[in-house]
A and B are shown apart, each in its own frame.
Chain A
Amino acid sequence: MNGRPNGKAPYHLLSVRVENRAGVLARVAGLFARRGFNIVSLVVAPTQDERFSRISIVVDVESAPLHQVVDQLGKLINVVEISELHPDRAREAELLLATVGVSPSRAPGFVELVGRFGARVIEEAEDAAMVMAVGDTASLDEFEAGLERFGIVEIQRTGRIGLPTLSPTA
């Protein structure tokens, strides 16, 4: 459920608000590299306030305790705020694009698979199709596994993004 199969220690999703300055991504990535922290995925984009960007980082906490990652990140001058998005108290999503080597109309079960995960076929060719899906990481893992039997040619996933839930007690 937390993104890591086989019941291993969970990945943690950090939501990091940073000043929107040149080099800030390099500072974050460089910190992870030199402290030996493992990044599973990282998404960065500006926020509604142009002075800030938000970075969603999925951290493998087997490489270092989460508090150490958070404390070291907090020392970066351009990092304004760090929150851990616990699965029970956050909404998360991830975007998936994949090209498969079949035409949807000639591949039995393909349309059903796409429908079951709320995905869409966004481009079609004679012997290929591109699909797009949005969902939590676990359901996209499942969708990706389903796509494999049709032959995945290329795939790109964004990694997890998230925000705190509106009803944190839920």
Chain B
Amino acid sequence: MEVTGAQALIKSLEAQGVEVAFGLPGGAILPVYDPILDSSIRHIHVRHEQGAGHAAEGYADATGRPGVAIVTSGPGATNIVTPLADAYMDSVPLVVVAGQVAAGAIGTDAFQEVDTTGVTMGVTKHNYLVKDAAEIPRVVAEAFHIATTGRPGPVLIDFPKDVANARVDWKEPAAVDLPGYFPATDPDPGAIGRAVELIRTASRPVLYVGGGVIKSEASAALAALVEVTGIPVVTTLMARGAFPDSDPRCLGMPGMHGSYTAVTAIQRSDLLIALGARFDDRVTGMVSAFAPNALVIHVDIDPAEMGKVRRPDVALVADCRSAIEALIAALRGGEALDPARLASWMAQLAEWRARFPYTYDPGDGSTIKPQYVVEQLRDATPDDVILVSGVGQHQMWASQFWRFDHPRTWINSGGLGTMGFAVPAAMGAKVGRPDRMVWAIDGDGCFQMTAQELVTMTAERIPVKVAILNNSYLGMVRQWQHMFYRERYSSVYLSPDLPDYVGWAESMGCVGLRVTAPEEVRPAIEKANEIDDRSVVVEFRTDVAEHVYPIIPAGHSNDDIVVHPSQAQDQ
């Protein structure tokens, strides 16, 4: 059957099971937008290509399936570079198709021409420039294979207009044949044996759980490992929900704004079992002082993570779930572990938890504390609500004060720290999981960056809820200027009233609510929860003076953790 290159692309996407694509047309990608009209793929027409990329990420994070975005050449492609970089950092499976000028015009500085493969080389797992329409089925099949296997990541397909217009005989792609791509899967039995020996003899072990546990759908296996070993768990920002916060063995989040107990447990541990985690600087603080007495078992599917930051004593290059299952099998094959061996360690952890929980000053009731809003949202929403956040103070408070009990219920930008992530990612999450309530917690600075996707959501009937913690500042920057720049506030003030968030929300077809007093917080949330035919934006006017605690100053040892001022005398 003869088809156009554009039709071959759409057929190839359909063959991959793609149900949804987020995109925005333009000159070079026009041929692709014609067969989309006849396709089973739901195309969601975003208002900015960055929105398409983050929506595709939110979709992938919520569902575990690859997110797809389609953009045009030049500015369309450059506008999606940030989401590509974000997905690369957080190992999110994406396939992005970008239009390109006709192959013959490449290199001539043609209208809307950008060297898209060159620009995106450093922020994609792989990319393609399609030069022949006959390659399309193979390239698309490879792109999805690469994006979703091994350590997941974004793949870009640069698609020249003349290739899209060319006529070609449709052929199903042959099996993927990539002679240089063999992602690890099963762990080395010898390494499993050495890991088990360390687990058996450790007296202060900690499971350091990263986003890889969620990507490999290993939460149930992890729960079983904790049952067998009794070892306490910390869940990184990318892994919140991989192990339930409501389990007493969950110590919460490690790192710069992590819980005192999680941070200090790692510092005092004699065995750190890193599962799908990459020793990010936000977790380690000063690397040379990180977990100084711990032996390290490092499980990761990416061999380049072994020793990149911290040299492991046992390196397990494998899919997290198969590695965890192999550890459980090996542990069960031997003598049962006596929970009493960890009794004094668990008692120590319990004591820290009691002394240093996350806390904030409730104040005199005259201002809304941002942490209070997070707590109220947590308590007024269903157990399986999907929470999405932007980047900054609100993100840290959301991670700290929420109670995550399920994987894929927390979606945020970890590695790249992309402000403006929340609104479009929430759209993607809701498209992927229409059965779930989706709340975004956003900052006022973040909201201003990508709020236009609420227009998309109104037009496409994708109802989400956005809580803006409006403190009229770039709050995290303000906090650092307060703590580390002698309160010299530089370019951080945003104004509480400009823009008018309620008016803006309403102009985008949403319900807009403004909350200015603590007693209005819960009723506003409950009102928002009852609206499910359109998106709701609730603006909470929050106390600007609140800082995120604990904090470990950048570059310091994690031993230098600064707890909330009210706990300082206990430290």
- Interface residues, chain A, CB within 8 Å of chain B? 18-19, 22-23, 26-27, 30, 34, 65, 67-68, 71-72, 74-81
Contacts and interface: CB of A to CB of B under 8 A. Distances in A.
Contact of A19 (B118, B146, B179, B304): B179
Contacts of A81: 180
Nearest to A67: B307
B122 A30 contact: yes
Contacts of A78: 180
Given A67-B307, A68-B308, A77-B146, A30 B121 contact: yes
Q: Interface size class for chain B?
A: 10 to 19
B129 interface: yes
Given A34-B122, A77-B180, A65 B307 contact: yes
A19 B180 contact: yes
Interface in B135-187: 146, 178-181
B121 A26 contact: yes
23 contacts: A18-B180, A22-B129, A23-B117, A23-B121, A26-B118, A26-B121, A27-B121, A30-B121, A30-B122, A67-B306, A67-B307, A68-B308, A71-B303, A71-B304, A72-B304, A74-B304, A75-B302, A77-B125, A77-B126, A77-B146, A77-B178, A77-B180, A77-B181
Interface string B307-345: 110000000000000000000000000000000000000
Contacts of B180: 18-19, 76-81
A52 to B, nearest CB: 8
A81 B180 CA distance: 7
A16 B306 CA distance: 21
Given A27-B121, A67-B306, A77-B180, 16 more contacts: A19-B179, A22-B129, A22-B131, A23-B121, A23-B129, A26-B118, A26-B121, A30-B121, A68-B304, A68-B308, A71-B304, A74-B303, A74-B304, A77-B126, A77-B178, A79-B180
A19 B307 CA distance: 27
Interface in B90-121: 117-118, 121
B288 to A, nearest CB: 16
A68 B121 contact: no
Given A18-B180, A22-B129, A75 B304 contact: yes
B469 to A, nearest CB: 35
A74 B150 CA distance: 13
A80 B179 contact: yes
Interface string B270-314: 000000000000000000000000000000001110111000000
Closest 10 CB pairs of A and B: A71-B304, A80-B180, A77-B126, A71-B303, A72-B304, A80-B179, A79-B180, A34-B122, A77-B181, A30-B121
Contacts of B117: 23
A81 B129 CA distance: 23
A32 to B, nearest CB: 11
Interface of B: 117-118, 121-122, 125-126, 129, 131, 146, 178-181, 302-304, 306-308
A18 B178 CA distance: 11
Given A19-B180, A77-B181, A71 B306 contact: yes
Nearest to B122: A34
A26 B181 CA distance: 18
A67 B315 CA distance: 13
B65 to A, nearest CB: 21
A80 B131 CA distance: 22
A34 to B, nearest CB: 5
Contacts of A22: 129, 131
A81 B179 CA distance: 9
A68 B307 CA distance: 8
Nearest to B126: A77
Nearest to A69: B304
Contacts of B131: 22
A26 B126 CA distance: 12
Contacts of A74: 303-304
B287 to A, nearest CB: 14
A145 B336 CA distance: 70
A30 B119 CA distance: 11
A77 B154 CA distance: 13
Most A CB within 10 A of own CB, among B129, B181, B302, B307: B181
Contacts of A19: 179-180
B317 to A, nearest CB: 9
Contacts of B308: 68, 71
Nearest to B146: A77
Contacts of B129: 22-23
A22 B303 CA distance: 26
A26 B125 CA distance: 14
Most B CB within 10 A of own CB, among A19, A77, A79: A77
Contacts of B307: 65, 67-68
Contacts of B181: 77
A27 B180 CA distance: 14
Nearest to B153: A75
Contacts of B118: 23, 26
B505 to A, nearest CB: 40
Nearest to B151: A75
A71 B306 CA distance: 9
Contacts of A79: 180
B177 to A, nearest CB: 11
A26 B179 CA distance: 19
Contacts of A80: 179-180
Contacts of A27: 121
A77 B307 CA distance: 21
Contacts of B306: 67, 71
A89 to B, nearest CB: 23
A33 to B, nearest CB: 8
A22 B178 CA distance: 15
Contacts of B146: 77
A15 B137 CA distance: 32
Contacts of B126: 77
A26 B124 CA distance: 14
B169 to A, nearest CB: 23
A23 B181 CA distance: 17
Nearest to A34: B122
A153 to B, nearest CB: 34
Contacts of A65: 307
